[in-house]
Structure 1
Amino acid sequence: MRNKAAVRHLVDLLMTVVLILLMAYFLTEQEIHEWLGAGMLVLFIVHHLLNYRWIKALERGKYTPYRVVQTALVLLVFLCMLGSMLSGIWMSRYVFDFLPTQGQMGLARTAHLLCAYWSFLLLSAHLGLHWGIVLGAARKAAGGKPPVPARTAVLRALACGISAYGVYAFFKHHIADYLFLRSRFVFFDYEQPPALYILDLLAMMGLWMALSYFLGRALQRHTGQTAMQKEANS
């Protein structure tokens, strides 16, 4: 079980790294971008195979508000990733050029743009919803010591700083225009240092991770309080 969990975490980490590289499309060649996309496709399949039990259990158990949000988020991520991959395969000029895909390139490009940016946002939120597991593992690796208030305050301040910069980067790069197709072409500032663009992407990812993490905690706390109230009234 430990080995399987380690593999699962490794796959998730690789998907995160590849996602950032895919979003930094302007910093790579077309062929490299396609190979990264093909790698993401493989990781995407492996990820779902490793989480088969969770998928199989969807029909069982009670759906708390947290579980509803979690399941809806997974479904949306799946649909956006699928749309991004299928449209990418359709437009492929290198990796999948052997496939007989012709015509409708404009539609495929628009679908790829839309699905790619929503995948970035939703996958970031998906990571944030499970960030508690990462924090728990880190606490366990540190010997299971209780949280130090000063350290917790510093980490929260850091999260707020990253999120604030993420908001700035979100508007700086006009991400909402791509999410809602107000623009069908991505504009990139080639004078911006590549490292700064990567940091902008990481900050935006941190923003959505933080929002979903605290939303998840609020939903779990609400579910716990509701259960306690029901028990007290019974």
Structure 2
Amino acid sequence: MAILLPPLMAYSLLGEIAHEWLGIAMSALFILHHVLNRKWYGGLCKGRYSAVRLLGTVTDLLLLADMIALPVSGIMMSRHVFTVLNAGSGMALARTVHLLASYWGLVLMSFHAGLHGGAVMAMLRKRANGKSAARTMALRAFAVLLGLWGIFAFLRREIGSYLFLRNQFVFFDFNQPLLFFVADYIAVMVLFAMAGHYSAKLLKRQHS
């Protein structure tokens, strides 16, 4: 899903047909993800809610709502795959919902990934046969550089204006290579993943 996210954000550069099929793939993977993690629903009303668990649960529920809004609004706007289901009268509302859900989805999905960053890093260390101080420092330095690039890209791409609907029309520079656009959005994803990761670490320290 993380791999599909940047090209999905570049919909005008890839074309509508590619965007619709990528959106279908994203929705299918999201459904599969929830099927594989269905026990999460059964545990919602069980156990104590720490600050970290509360943050994760709120993020997950918001992301769930967002990922429902995306395909529904996308189907309503479809000009290729779901033309039979196209609801012409609701096109303006669907476009607004889809824009809002797309950019909040970018933030929430990245933040969600960051919240689970500790588990991912532990798995990677296990596969790499232990913890290396030099490797850890190198990875942290690389992450910081990507995060700084993410701040720059967030401002340059005016992502904040789309998150809060100050601008309802996304600008695409068709003279810029697709690779540059994707790289900027990957950096923004890393920025919000870092925000999630360090939010979880801070909350754990405060309650340890």
Return the TM-score normalized by structure 2.
0.96
Match of 1:76 among 46, 62, 80: 62
1:221: Cα distance to partner? 2.4
Read off the aligned partner of 2:49 and give its amino acid letter.
Answer: Y
Matches within 5 A, 1:173-212: 173-212=157-196
**2 CA distance for matches of 1:153 and 1:140?**
17
Read off the aligned partner of 1:25 and give its amino acid letter.
Answer: Y
Read off the aligned partner of 1:40 and give its amino acid letter.
Answer: M
**1 CA distance for matches of 2:54 and 2:62?**
12
Q: Does residue 152 of structure 1 match 2:136?
A: yes
Match of 1:140 in 2: 126
The superposition leaves residues 97-145 of structure 1 with CA deviations (integer Å, 9 ceiling, x where unpaired) of 12252212111111110110000111000011111111111111122x2
**2 CA distance for matches of 1:105 and 1:142?**
50
Match of 1:165 in 2: 149
1:159: Cα distance to partner? 1.1
Match of 2:73 in 1: 87
**1 CA distance for matches of 2:8 and 2:137?**
33
**2 CA distance for matches of 1:85 and 1:28?**
18
Return the TM-score normalized by structure 1.
0.86
Match of 2:117 in 1: 131
User: Where do 5+ consecutive residues of structure 2 fail to align?
Assistant: none
1:40: Cα distance to partner? 1.3
**2 CA distance for matches of 1:173 and 1:157?**
24
**Pairwise CA RMSD:** 1.2
CA contact (8 A) 2:69 2:101 kept: yes
Read off the aligned partner of 1:48 and give its amino acid letter.
Answer: H
Read off the aligned partner of 2:8 and give its amino acid letter.
Answer: L
**2 CA distance for matches of 1:125 and 1:163?**
13
